[in-house]
């Protein structure tokens, strides 16, 4: 990885594990990765699975690494940062995956104008199929942006954002988005059973249909409404089902849901800054 000898993780939870696993799979040597977590068992498992350095504490991560991923819960991040002593000569690039913590709050807690990349990954990162919205502070160099992007690309696609406020929309769309699709899948499976399918058949058909539809949308460069129209023959079964969705104003319900999620993201960020 460009101009980087060591990458550190403060926090070793699920998303940190996904990133470490993705980096390892893409060729990053375990001995270049440091991690500290308050749970010794979790840390031992990371060391066992990826041959990384088990840092004795968070300060050791700061002292050894040029890039530090902040991967602890948002509620404890302020306390964790306040306990750190940052090097006077050259501070690391910070990559924050703590949901809802704005870069202004991070700068305030760090006590300086440090380069920060804030990321909003989602849970499919656990299987290296994630989607991450990312935003960098003005003093983050092009080289540092490239480094941050390469780390996050280890678990899926990345999308740079022009303004930090757009991360609230990302949170509502892709951050919370997997739950929306699981909700629809749950409903489809339940409906399939009600129509007489065995439970295992309803589940398999639901999962494979969701996977195939997403794959088709990725690989065919046409908008979703075009793909939908291709499946919706006039007077056919799909048209009848879509008509029920339209009569229930489903698209409006989805828009309202995302607005509610976006507004809650803003509320939580405000609370964390207090």
Q: What is the CATH number of the domain that holds 218?
A: 1.10.3730.10
Give pLDDT tens digits along the chain (274 positions).
Answer: 556 789 999 999 999 999 999 999 999 999 999 999 999 999 999 999 999 999 999 999 999 999 999 999 999 999 999 999 988 777 799 999 999 999 999 999 998 889 999 999 999 999 999 999 999 999 999 999 999 999 999 999 999 999 999 999 999 999 999 999 999 999 999 999 999 999 999 999 999 999 999 999 999 989 999 999 999 999 999 999 999 999 999 999 999 999 999 999 999 999 988 7
Choose one of 137, 168, 199: the last residue of a domain. Answer: 168
Identify the bridge partners of residue 67 per DSSP, sorted by sequence position: 7, 93
Instruction: 49-56: list long-range contacts, CB under 8 Å, 24+ apart.
Output: 49/21, 50/20, 50/21, 50/24, 52/20, 55/8
In this structure, are 127 and 205 located in the same domain? Answer: no
The answer to whether 88 and 82 have CB atoms below 8 angstroms apart is no
Question: Would residue 1 count as lying in a domain?
Answer: no
CATH of the domain at 34: 3.40.50.720
The residue out of 149, 168, 187 marking a domain boundary is 168
Assign residue 27 a region: left if phi > 0, alpha if psi is -120 to 50, beta otherwise?
left
DSSP per-residue string spanning 20-55: HHHHHHTT--GGGEEEE-S-HHHHHHHHHHH--EE-
In terms of residue numbers, what domain contains 11?
7-168
pTM of the model: 0.92
Are residues 151 and 237 located together in one domain of the fold?
no
* DSSP secondary structure code for residue 92 in this structure: P
Domain total in the chain: 2
CA angle 153, 160, 148 (to 5 degrees): 45
């Amino acid at each position: 990885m460009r101009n980087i000898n060591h990458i550190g993780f403060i926090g070793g939870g699920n998303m940190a594990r996904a990133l470490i696993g993705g980096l390892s799979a893409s060729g990053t040597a375990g001995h270049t990765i440091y991690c500290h977590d308050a749970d010794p068992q979790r840390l031992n498992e990371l060391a066992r699975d990826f041959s990384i350095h088990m840092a004795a504490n968070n300060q050791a991560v700061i002292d050894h690494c040029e890039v530090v991923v902040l991967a602890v819960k948002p509620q404890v991040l302020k306390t964790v940062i306040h306990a750190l002593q940052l090097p006077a000569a050259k501070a690391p690039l910070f990559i924050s995956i703590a949901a809802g913590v704005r870069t202004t709050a991070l700068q305030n807690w760090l006590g300086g104008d440090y380069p920060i990349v804030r990321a909003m990954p989602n849970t499919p990162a656990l299987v290296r199929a994630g989607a991450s919205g990312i935003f960098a502070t003005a003093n983050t160099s092009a080289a540092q942006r490239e480094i941050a992007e390469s780390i996050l690309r280890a678990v899926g696609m990345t999308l740079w954002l022009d303004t930090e406020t757009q991360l609230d929309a990302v949170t509502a769309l892709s951050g919370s988005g997997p739950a929306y699709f699981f909700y629809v899948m749950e409903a489809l499976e339940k409906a399939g059973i009600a129509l007489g399918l065995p439970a295992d058949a309803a589940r398999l058909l639901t999962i494979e249909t969701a996977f195939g539809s997403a794959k088709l949308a990725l690989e065919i460069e046409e908008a979703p409404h075009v793909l939908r129209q291709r499946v919706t023959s006039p007077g056919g079964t799909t048209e009848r089902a879509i008509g029920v969705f339209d009569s229930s104003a489903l698209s409006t319900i989805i828009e309202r849901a995302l607005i509610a999620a976006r507004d809650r993201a803003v509320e939580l960020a405000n609370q964390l800054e207090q």
